Structure 1
Amino acid sequence: MPLLINITCYVTIYFGIFIYICGCFGSLLNIHILFSNRNNSSTFLLIYSSIVDCIVLNIGLLPRIFAVGFNTDLTLYNLLWCKIRTYLLRITSLIPLYSIALMSMDRFFISCRTVRWRQLSNIRFVRWMTFFVSFLIATEGLPFLILTKILQSNTSISCTPMYNPIFSKYASFFCIPVLYALPLVIMIAMGILIYHKLHNRTHLRRAQRSLTLIILLRILLALISCGPYTSYFVYSAIVVLSTPIKSAERIAIENFIISLLSTFLYITYSSSFFVHIFVSSAYRKQLMDLFKYYRNRHRAVIQPVQMVLTKFTQNNASTVKNNKQNN
């Protein structure tokens, strides 16, 4: 299947590089612009998610671009990097999804009429929940760090923990299908409830409505990019039970599909900045103010240098003129 391999390479290189550049640059701008408002619960989650997004893109997408597009995969030659990348990619790919789920819950709490529910939308509670969820994800991912090895056969070499039959079943039937599907289910449920609240409460402040729309759009993009990836692993887990032996052609097609889905999965981790730009006029104003600040700062640095050079030139000219007159 050379055609499928070529398509996979081109998609990974060109689309992957585009996602990587936009995602990293956008996440850094997000952190810079939103940091001043970090004591807001939803903004805190957006900043935390942007930080983890940068990590995902650098340890997940960038090495994937080099591995698939340029046949350069350091995980196949260094066991320590093989273990660290597998573990970090596991936990950092889950944390942003659960952060979006927590954002959706926070938006739901703040849109409730009941005071008791609204009180749950506070920075202290959100920080505690963020730490607790991140700790659970990091603990659950420890088998990926411990069991991952570099496996070499006559035809291939891979960095994987799936050689262990017990862990392989656990990963196929629980890790990916359940742990990726759970935040998506929370997002869908909270998204429906938030939309209902937003539709019936037109008196909500403009800033709150804008932030709620940002989170709803983040939920939609997460469903579009992560939904097919999760569905494929559910399908794979079912197929393993019914069809344990596959033809070479079917394996090639399935590898092609999972390669494309794995690349498109990174849309979730690179879209936050563009969602803010599209939805929030206040965010666009802050971004323009940031660009103006650095442009004026650049001019302020250049202008004194130009003044010094002009003054130096004038002094030299007057000195030459005086020397001529004296002669």
Structure 2
Amino acid sequence: MNILIFLSVRSYRKTPSTFYFLIISITNIIYILINLISRIVSTGFLIDLTRSSVIWCKARLSLIGVFGLISFTCSSLATIDQFFATSPNVHLRRCSNIKWTYRIILLTILLCILHAIPCFIYLDISPITKTCLVTNNAYNFYLSLYSLSLISTFPVIIMSIFGYLTYRHINLRRILIRQSADRQITRMTLIQVILVITTITPYGIQITYNLITTGIYKDTDRMIKESFSLTIVSLLTYVYFVGSCYTFLITSSRFRRAVKDHICFWRRRAQVAALIYPIQERIVFRNQVH
């Protein structure tokens, strides 16, 4: 739904923050399709292609890394853009520019793809356990740091800082003039900040705990509890990938109207028809009279 709304409403396509939201929505749905569906199939139907197909083993985690990183990066960039857009400084407001947004997104996508190349190289199916895993120990350790930094810590810190600064700008300027910022888009951005913090922070805490306790002996009971905890916080991250539509519906009346118009499209046709038919009847009547 997000993709449909952001593509169909011209003002959303031309606004940097909502264009970031469009990219986030596209990457999120691809992430969900790749990750969640494969989990459901492997768990529910016992069909795990990562154990039988080397290509899928490499491609799945690499693509998840690419689209996940793009999504979190664009979320951070959207918050930074709103900081610029709501700034009382005219020079900072000029930094909120759609042309620059296009370039930044292209650069982000390119860097995320390059970042995932080692993942594609080092992933393989273990001949012993028949599971898809990283064959390089150094890169395996880097992945833990990557999950802690680029996926959890950095986005949360960046969005918290710039979200707070944006909120300060709003309070300093009670009435935002139209050229400076759209209040509803600002609310959408701030609710996105809250969504990221609440869903990603527990995952970052779990990864930190795992890194700290790496060299500690753990009995079976503790390992089961840690595995259960990791499963819960991992599932919580899916709320970020699927929850933005609901948060936008809550915070933006314009977004709600756009959704309503697209869902109830037949009503628009009926309203248009109700306006057109009387006009056509009057034209026909006049022609008959003359």
TM-score bracket relative to the smaller structure: 0.7 to 0.9
1:198 paired to 2:174: no
Counterpart of 1:12 in structure 2 is none
**Alpha-carbon distance between aligned partners in 1 of 2:9 and 2:35, rounded to the nearest angstrom:** 25
Counterpart of 2:52 in structure 1 is 77
1:107 paired to 2:107: no
Larger RCO (CA within 8 A; separation ≥ 6):
1
**Alpha-carbon distance between aligned partners in 1 of 2:10 and 2:227, rounded to the nearest angstrom:** 41
8 Å Cα contact 2:42/2:48 also seen in 1: yes
**Alpha-carbon distance between aligned partners in 1 of 2:234 and 2:143, rounded to the nearest angstrom:** 16
**Alpha-carbon distance between aligned partners in 2 of 1:27 and 1:66, rounded to the nearest angstrom:** 26
8 Å Cα contact 1:110/1:121 also seen in 2: yes
The 1:175–1:38 alpha-carbon spacing in structure 2 relative to 1, beyond 3 Å, is same
* Secondary structure at 1:195 match in 2: helix
1:234 paired to 2:208: yes
1:126 paired to 2:98: no
8 Å Cα contact 1:106/1:121 also seen in 2: yes
**Alpha-carbon distance between aligned partners in 2 of 1:164 and 1:235, rounded to the nearest angstrom:** 22
8 Å Cα contact 1:87/1:144 also seen in 2: yes
Q: Where do 5+ consecutive residues of structure 2 fail to align?
A: 273-290
1:159 paired to 2:145: no
Give 1 or 2 for the bigger CA radius of gyration: 1
The 1:254–1:288 alpha-carbon spacing in structure 2 relative to 1, beyond 3 Å, is same
8 Å Cα contact 2:6/2:18 also seen in 1: no
Per-residue CA deviation, residues 89-131 of structure 1 (Å, 9 max, x unaligned), is 0111121111111010000001112121111100011111122
* Secondary structure at 1:269 match in 2: helix
Counterpart of 1:96 in structure 2 is 71
8 Å Cα contact 1:30/1:273 also seen in 2: no
* Secondary structure at 1:160 match in 2: strand
> What's the offset of the Cα at 1:171?
1.7
1:287 paired to 2:284: no
Q: Where do 5+ consecutive residues of structure 1 fail to align?
A: 1-25, 301-327
Of 141, 149, 159, 1:169 maps to 141
> What's the offset of the Cα at 1:277?
0.9
The 1:258–1:157 alpha-carbon spacing in structure 2 relative to 1, beyond 3 Å, is farther
Aligned-pair RMSD on alpha carbons? Answer: 2.2
The 1:31–1:209 alpha-carbon spacing in structure 2 relative to 1, beyond 3 Å, is closer
Amino acid aligned to 2:68: S
1:58 paired to 2:33: yes
Per-residue CA deviation, residues 217-254 of structure 1 (Å, 9 max, x unaligned), is 1111111111111221111111114x1x3222222211
**Alpha-carbon distance between aligned partners in 2 of 1:126 and 1:139, rounded to the nearest angstrom:** 20
> What's the offset of the Cα at 1:136?
1.8
8 Å Cα contact 2:16/2:97 also seen in 1: yes
The 1:263–1:145 alpha-carbon spacing in structure 2 relative to 1, beyond 3 Å, is same
1:48 paired to 2:20: no
- The TM-score, its normalising length taken from structure 1, stands at 0.76
Amino acid aligned to 1:212: T
Counterpart of 2:113 in structure 1 is 138
Deviates more, 1:284-293 or 1:108-117: 284-293
* Secondary structure at 1:270 match in 2: helix
The 1:30–1:258 alpha-carbon spacing in structure 2 relative to 1, beyond 3 Å, is farther
1:219 paired to 2:193: yes
Counterpart of 1:185 in structure 2 is 157
- The TM-score, its normalising length taken from structure 2, stands at 0.86
Residue pairs, 1:273-284, within 5 angstroms: 273-284=245-256
Counterpart of 2:237 in structure 1 is 265
> What's the offset of the Cα at 1:157?
3.4
**Alpha-carbon distance between aligned partners in 1 of 2:193 and 2:45, rounded to the nearest angstrom:** 33
Counterpart of 1:14 in structure 2 is none
